[in-house]
Chains A and B, each alone.
Chain A
Amino acid sequence: MQDFGHAFSLAFQLMWAADPDLMEIIGLSLRVSLTAMTISCAIALPIGAALGMIRFRGRGAAIILLNALMGLPPVVVGLCVYLMLSRAGPMGWLGLLYTPTAMIIAQSILITPIIAALSRQVIEDLHAEYAEQFRSMCVPTRTAIAALLWDARYSLLTVALAGFGRAVAEVGAVIIVGGNIDHLTRVMTTAIALETSKGDLSLALALGMVLLLIALVINAGVMAVRMTAARFAYA
């Protein structure tokens, strides 16, 4: 396969030359997906923690629903957000369609269930260890949730990264609500889709490699933070 070899050298050239168009696309990809991840964490972590430790009627159904929502197809999310934000839709007056904000909204909806469902499992497991202590010390629920979230922070970091990975890799939602507009809403995945449709398969593949490289750098960075923190904790 000469395509792979060619793509590899092309990816290297693109990164080496720091092609300004590519940098802009990478920057937007990161901005959109990291923002979506942050918003989703703010919403999903408290929900996941609450579901993980509070017992209530219908909890089982809620967990099943949440787990099922992890399988939300990006295209469907994109379509729903499009219909909401379209000028003909109920939130059209905001003028958000075809902006990075619309892409952030779509990705947030996509990954909130993932972060909530995974953090629910993490918190539930940790709570099994802590439950007795909480009871004996009469810790109020809100304090307990905060304590669990804090103590599970490293596992939750991985959860957040799973959400980020899903967001930065999806194309179905952002291409509908963002429109893949050059210099405005073009991100890595929509650029890859565009180059594929132009038949420029090696450039598309090269962009894919660059995307993978970014994911690698981010994960390595998080790992480094985690290890440094762990060293300080046990020092």
Chain B
Amino acid sequence: MLCGKLLKFGVAVVSSAFFMAGIAQAEESIIVQSTTSTQNSGLYKHLLPLFKNKSGITVNVVAVGTGQAIKNAQNCDGDVLLVHAKPAEEKFVKNGYGVKRTDVMYNDFIIVGPPEDPAKVGRMKDAPDALKKISNAKAIFASRGDNSGTHKKEVRLWKAADINPKGASGKWYRETGSGMGATLNTGVGMGAYVMTDRATWISFKNKGDYKILVEGDDDLFNQYGVILVNPKKCPKVNQAAGQTFIKWLIGEDGQKAIANYKLGGKQLFFPNANKGQS
């Protein structure tokens, strides 16, 4: 019978696919839930081969927004979490999903915009003040709107400016609901102001004539932290390998490797482990 044959073939294909998946897991590897900014900037391409050489462990990075990364880690779908939203990270640890949070590195957020700068925020330092001017001018602002680390930071800055931009959602305040790169593409396309982390901006290739307009405020500090997913909540966590990775990352070698990563002569991330752990 033809259908019998087809069915047998199907079963054979399915089982071989499972078999191959089994082989792939024989090698020591961990999954790191992380953010798009670290991946898009090429940092992992620089760090991971160095770590693999030293430890033999393959690190598989799933790069999504911080909100989704934390959600995935809560579902135990990762061994290590490396994101940038300190309050959310601390909550993650407090609720027992993570073992301990450690600072890894930092850079900063910036606000970029078109050269005409309709809200006249160029060279401003105070981020909430700049947002106030943008809102007063009803100049278009493209927000991530995706609960990511960058978005959470942006929401806090609007709060500091005492403005609720949600009221203008769909008018001058436009939430793209997508990643940093996609939001920059959209923003550049419609002449909007965009808040972005500096690493993504430096490595972004579709800048058009956009310029950095606001930078240098202490409020724009962007801290990355690393957490081992708690084996008590998630028994399948590869604790040993995850711990090895974290130790390397916050140790001398990892920190040096982070500092050495440059794009176009510019350093993208500044290591700061063991300086203000929580």
Contact = CB atoms under 8 A, between A and B. Distances in A.
Interface of A: 35, 38-39, 41-43, 45-46, 49, 86-89, 92, 95-101, 104, 142-143, 145-146, 149-150, 179-182, 184, 194, 196-201
When A and B form their complex, which 4 residue pairs have the shortest distance between CB atoms, in order from nearest? A42-B10, A197-B181, A199-B206, A87-B76
Given A38-B10, A98-B62, A180-B62, 9 more contacts: A42-B7, A87-B236, A142-B1, A142-B3, A181-B61, A194-B40, A196-B181, A198-B204, A199-B206
B6 A46 contact: yes
A39 B24 contact: no
Given A42-B9, A87-B236, A197 B18 contact: no
8 contacts: A43-B10, A86-B72, A95-B25, A97-B77, A149-B3, A197-B185, A198-B203, A201-B185
Interface residues of B, number: 44
Nearest to A148: B2
Nearest to A203: B205
B21 A99 contact: yes
Contact of A88 (B10, B14, B39, B77): B77
A86 B13 contact: no
Contacts of B40: 194, 197-198
A98 B14 contact: no
A39 B17 CA distance: 11
A200 B206 contact: yes
Interface of B: 1-3, 6-7, 9-11, 13-14, 17-18, 20-21, 24-25, 31, 36, 39-40, 44-45, 60-63, 72, 74-77, 179-182, 184-185, 203-207, 234, 236
Mostly, the B contact residues are: helix
Nearest to B2: A146
Nearest to A175: B64
B181 A199 contact: yes
Given A39-B14, A87-B234, A146-B1, A45 B75 contact: no
Contacts of B181: 196-199
Contacts of A98: 31, 60, 62, 77
A96 B9 CA distance: 22
A35 B203 CA distance: 36
A196 B203 CA distance: 12
Contacts of B24: 99-100, 184
Contacts of A184: 24, 60
A39 B10 contact: yes
Contacts of A97: 77
Contact of B62 (A88, A146, A150, A179): A179
A38 B182 CA distance: 34
A96 B179 CA distance: 26
A41 B10 CA distance: 8
* A49, A92, A95, A198 pick with most chain B CB within 10 angstroms: A198
A156 B184 CA distance: 44
A184 B61 CA distance: 10
A197 B182 contact: yes
Contacts of A86: 72, 75-77
A87 B71 CA distance: 12
A41 B14 CA distance: 12
Contacts of B14: 39
Contacts of B180: 197
Contacts of A38: 9-10, 13
Nearest to B39: A194
Contact of B3 (A99, A145, A196, A197): A145
B17 A101 contact: yes
A42 B10 CA distance: 5
A181 B48 CA distance: 13
A42 B14 CA distance: 11
A89 B11 CA distance: 24
A42 B203 CA distance: 45
Nearest to A145: B3
Contacts of A146: 1-3
A194 B74 CA distance: 25
Contact of A201 (B1, B75, B206): B206
